[in-house]
């Protein structure tokens, strides 16, 4: 069952988070999003929210998901910060932050330098020299339009090659400088890389198979004690998590990111 269109995924998450809060506080569940869910979908989310609320327990809850830039989770239950992931497979994205971290924190060349060889000159024929000014060559709106053209497939192939080289060079940096690898691992797991902290509890609910996974802060923090490390074509795999070097709003167009996934 599809809960809502992909573009409305955040509304599904918001509804679930607020439903959990309402249930814990013994209040009626209200849909405060701008997505009109079917009766079937509402019943499904409410049922899942009930299971999550019962697992968390607690007597007092509040919603903080609308303050994502300044908070470390989605809701607070009896003083504990809870991050909720409502997914159809896997465990969702633990962390999503700017790729510029490698430049500002580790002194590694900006990905923009890798784009200058082929990608940016090619993009300039469509958008002009402004593509050279920022890490994101174009705006989110311009990216959305360009993704609908035949040229987008050409761009994706260019970026795949450039990004693979970038990841390989990063891997070599980490192998040669274990202290930088350690800093990167720690910054990702603690979320310091995004100016945040790990939540007290991470709840992942896979609604496609009705499976709930609850991960406490100690388990998350223990991931820093990583022992193995290998490279994939566009990222890295560690003991209990993996990292993908990707784009948020259109490949090679807008918002290059570091994404962390807990296994």
The pLDDT value given to residue 91: 83
Residue 90's pLDDT band (boundaries 50, 70, 90)? confident
pLDDT above 70: percentage of residues in the chain: 95
The pLDDT value given to residue 68: 59
Residue 3's pLDDT band (boundaries 50, 70, 90)? low
DSSP letter string, 50-75: HHHHHHH--S-EEE-GGGTTT-SSSE
The pLDDT value given to residue 262: 92
Average pLDDT over residues 94-102: 94
Q: Is 235 helix (H, G, I), strand (E, B) or coil?
A: strand
Which pTM value belongs to this model? 0.88
What are the CA-CA distances from residue 81 to residues 24, 39, 72, 122, 200 (Å)?
14, 30, 7, 46, 5
Q: Which of 68-77, 99-108, 192-201 has the highest mean pLDDT?
A: 99-108
Phi-psi region of 176 (alpha: psi -120 to 50; beta: other; left: phi over 0): alpha
Structure tokens at 258: 């570091």
Average pLDDT over residues 5-13: 69
d(CA 223, CA 226): 6
Report yes or no: 190 and 197 within 8 Å, Cβ to Cβ: yes
* Residues in Cβ contact with 153 at an 8 Å cutoff, skipping those fewer than 6 apart: none
Closest CA to 84 of 120, 55, 106, 59: 55
Average pLDDT over residues 14-26: 96
pLDDT above 90: percentage of residues in the chain: 84
DSSP letter string, 191-244: TGGGT----SEEEEEETTTTEEEEEEHHHHHHGGG---EEEETTEEEESSEEEE
């Amino acid at each position: 069952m599809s809960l809502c269109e992909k573009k409305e995924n955040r509304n599904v998450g918001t509804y679930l988070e607020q439903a959990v809060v309402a249930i814990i506080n013994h209040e009626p569940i209200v849909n405060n999003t701008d997505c009109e869910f079917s009766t079937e979908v509402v019943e499904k989310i409410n049922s899942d929210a009930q299971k999550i609320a019962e697992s968390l327990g607690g007597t007092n809850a509040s919603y903080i998901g609308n303050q994502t830039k300044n908070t470390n989770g989605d809701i607070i239950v009896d003083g504990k910060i809870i991050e909720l992931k409502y997914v159809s497979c896997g465990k969702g994205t633990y962390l999503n932050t700017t790729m510029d971290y490698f430049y500002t924190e580790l002194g590694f060349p900006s990905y923009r330098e890798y784009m200058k060889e082929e990608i940016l000159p090619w993009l300039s024929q469509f958008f002009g020299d402004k593509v050279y000014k920022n890490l994101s060559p174009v705006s989110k709106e311009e990216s959305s339009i360009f993704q609908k053209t035949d040229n987008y497939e050409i761009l994706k192939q260019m970026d795949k090659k450039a990004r693979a080289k970038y990841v390989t060079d990063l891997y070599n940096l980490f192998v040669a400088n274990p202290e930088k690898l350690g800093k990167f691992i720690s910054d990702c797991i603690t979320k310091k890389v995004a100016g945040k902290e790990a939540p007290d509890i991470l709840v992942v609910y896979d609604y496609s198979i009705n499976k709930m996974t609850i991960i406490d802060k100690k388990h998350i923090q223990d991931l820093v004690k990583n022992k193995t490390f290998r490279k994939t074509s566009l990222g890295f795999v560690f003991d209990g998590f993996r990292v993908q070097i990707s784009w948020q709003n259109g490949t090679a167009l807008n918002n290059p990111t570091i994404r962390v996934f807990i296994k």
